[in-house]
Amino acid sequence: MATQPDSNSDRIVGDRIGATADGAADPQPHLVYDDLRQWLDEARRLGEVKQVSGLSWQEDIGMVSGVAMHDDGAPCFVFDDVPGTIAGSRVLVNFFGGKRKNMTLGFPTGLSKLELSEGFRTSFMGPMTRIPPKYVNDGPIFENVMTGDDIDVTRFPAPKWHAGDGGRYIGTGSFNVTRDPDEGWINCGTYRVMIHDAKTAGFYISPGKHGRQMRDKYQARGERMPVAVVCGGDPMTFLMASSEVPYGVSEYEVVGGIRGKPVEVVNGPITGLPIPANAEIVIEGFVEPGNERVEGPFAEWTGYYASDLRPEPVLDIKAIYYRNDPILLGCVPQRPPDEICRYRAVVRSGLLRENIQKAGVPGITAAWAHEVGNARLLLAVAVHQRYPGHAKQAGHIAAMCHVGAYCGRYVIVVDDDVDVSNLEELVWALLTRSDPATSIDIIRNAWSTPLDPRIEPERKAAGDLTNSRAVIDACRPWHWRDQFPKVSTPSPELEHVAFEVDRSGAVTVHAKQLGQSFGLPLAAALQRIDEFKAPDRARLLRELPDYYSVPGCHAATFAHIVDGLVRHQYNQAHAPAPAKSRKAKR
């Protein structure tokens, strides 16, 4: 059971710690890469990159990616020597897995997914510091240029990712840069981009997205829309481009805030749009009003081909820029849970909690946008109830805030003794604390998309792209909460004080509370922990049992203890030492 602080200003253990690839602790979270190549170097240093040569874009790369992206433990793959493509060009997939997840977000490797999300929220998404991009005159992106007759987008190693796809998709781990024709602000948004032929591509944007609102404005004015598609930007810019950054705020500025320094951009020679000076591949062109061509089908994040084939705007390509040995970043939807779900859950859960709190709801202790619903279809919120109707308020805001509104389905609100990131624990609370007849509210006509597999064909054809939501109050009912049966597992309080670590490093485990007996080995384990240069939970879990037998200790309990020890190590290293013996917090 895990609870998180109840205020924007509170910070969890570890959130002040940045990470380098070798795991060395640093006082602030920070990114150790500026572009995709530097990111790749860091991932290599972590030992999590596998290079594979000679696979085809027609089938092989998609098949390997499909397997790898379902597995958090799988490496990042770099496919090179793809037959029939530009010499030296590469495709990189599965960037968000293993230890590189934390490195990508600027945190050390020992944090759980909930801690990582919380660290990202409190350090970056909450403050949402904005630093405008810096315009520079040149950059590696112009190492190679295709214009005029030379333009041939089919020469890049864009795979056909799934057997049923209608074509090759160069845009998956990409983002489109556009300018609002009325307000002038720059948006970066991730939308799938399909190659039609050497000089044209098609991209799909769901109604309501910022990029779509801009597109609709150009269309209504009868003006062509300038577009720059960045295929192979740095992973953080991609993550922000595929996240719910507020309307009117440029993702470049948010990434600048996260980095603590401006993103360097160059003016696109054709469109004048800002493009990252160190991107790998950038396609510039225009969408002429009314110019449409059939796009799709493409395997979508729901695990279906729900939007099938539709006419979508065509991008007339006027120039392509690319670095030597360019790297195409691929982030390909598979049936959830997959890689996309992993990063979306971590980033979007932080944004979700932030959205609810900024709407003025107090007492939110955790939020999780579940992987199985691709961080959209199932949202869970933990609340420390303070007044009647409080849980319902949190649930409805979660369902309708910027992060939750698009293509949601179920929102479950639970008490703060439930770990919302643990699907089984969440469903246990749902099953035992909700009453179907009275706990579920239905919201109708909510914002959805052609990608929603549950909208009837007739309604889709008629342009009705709305769906319904269930907001489920699975908290102990407010008015008789004190009489609700007591849970039979140890309370969070007991779990939190299940062991104590004093300043000499001695550990006392409260065997009575856990019904276990493992005081002495853990005391020795703490000595052992000091030998680890980096707080590394996975390594501790792997290696400690080899050194110390822990009789009768259930694996999950042991993992819990190790988590506590790792946190204790963070505290010792980075927090002011307390005057006397202290209790390690969970």
Residues that bind ligand FMN (CB under 6 A): 172, 187, 189-192, 204-206, 209-211, 242-244, 331, 340
Whichever of 447 and 548 has its CB closer to ligand FMN, that residue is 447
**Residue with smaller CB distance to ligand FMN, 210 or 460:** 210
Q: How many CB atoms lie within 10 A of CB 131?
A: 17
140 vs 285, which CB is nearer to ligand FMN?
285
**Torsion angle of C-alpha atoms 155, 158, 159, 162, degrees rounded to 10:** -140
CB of 117 to ligand FMN, least distance (A): 16
CB of 505 to ligand FMN, least distance (A): 44
Find the shortest distance in angstroms from Cβ 215 to ligand FMN: 9
Give the shortest CB-374-to-ligand FMN separation in angstroms.
9
Whole-number Cα distances in Å, 183 to 207, 214, 217, 507: 19, 10, 11, 60
- Closer to ligand FMN at the Cβ: 210 or 323? 210
Smallest separation, CB 322 to ligand FMN (Å): 21
Q: Least Å distance between CB 340 and ligand FMN?
A: 5
Q: Beta strands of 94-214 (E only): which ranges? A: 134-135, 144-147, 169-171, 174-179, 186-189, 193-197, 200-203
Written as one string, the DSSP assignment of 81-118 is --TTS-TT-EEEE--SSTTHHHHHHT--TT--HHHHHH
Rounded distance between C-alpha atoms, residue 568 and residue 575, angstroms? 10
CB of 49 to ligand FMN, least distance (A): 20
| Closer by beta carbon to ligand FMN, 189 or else 257 | 189
Side chain identity, residue 268: G
Q: Is the four-CA dihedral 60, 232, 95, 79 of positive or negative sign?
A: positive
- For ligand FMN, the closer of residues 244 and 473 by Cβ is 244
Closer CB to ligand FMN, residue 124 or residue 204?
204
Q: Which helix (H) or strand (E) holds 524?
A: helix 519-529
Rank residues 340 and 562 by Cβ distance to ligand FMN and give the closer one.
Answer: 340
* CB closer to ligand FMN out of 211 and 395: 211
Residues in CB range of 513: below 8 A, 6 or more apart = 490, 494, 497, 498
Q: Residue 375 or 412: which CB sits closer to ligand FMN?
A: 375
Taking the least distance from each CB to ligand FMN, the nearer of 48 and 180 is: 180
Minimal distance, residue 206 CB to ligand FMN, in Å: 4
Which class for 515: exposed (0-12), middle (13-18), buried (19 or more C-beta within 10 A)? exposed
Q: Which residues are CB-neighbours of 498 under 8 A, at least 6 positions away?
A: 490, 509, 510, 513, 514, 560, 561, 564
**E-assigned strands of 402-465?**
410-415, 440-447
Q: How far, in Å, CA of 485 to CA of 493, rounded?
A: 17
CA 485 to chain centre: 37
Contact 203, 176 (CB under 8 A): yes
Contact between 281 and 151 (Cβ < 8 Å): no
One DSSP character per residue, 484-523 reads SPPPSSPPHHHHHTSEEE-TT--EEE-HHHHT---HHHHH
CA atoms within 13 A on the CB side of 83: 6
Return the number of the residue (12 or 341) whose C-beta is nearest ligand FMN. 341
Cβ 552 to ligand FMN, closest distance in Å?
44
CA distance 525 to 372: 36
Residue nearest ligand FMN, Cβ-based: 189
Question: How near is the Cβ of 78 to ligand FMN at its closest, in Å?
Answer: 18
- What does the DSSP 8-state code read for residue 260? T
Least separation in angstroms between residue 87's CB and ligand FMN is 27
Shortest approach of ligand FMN to residue 80 CB, angstroms? 22
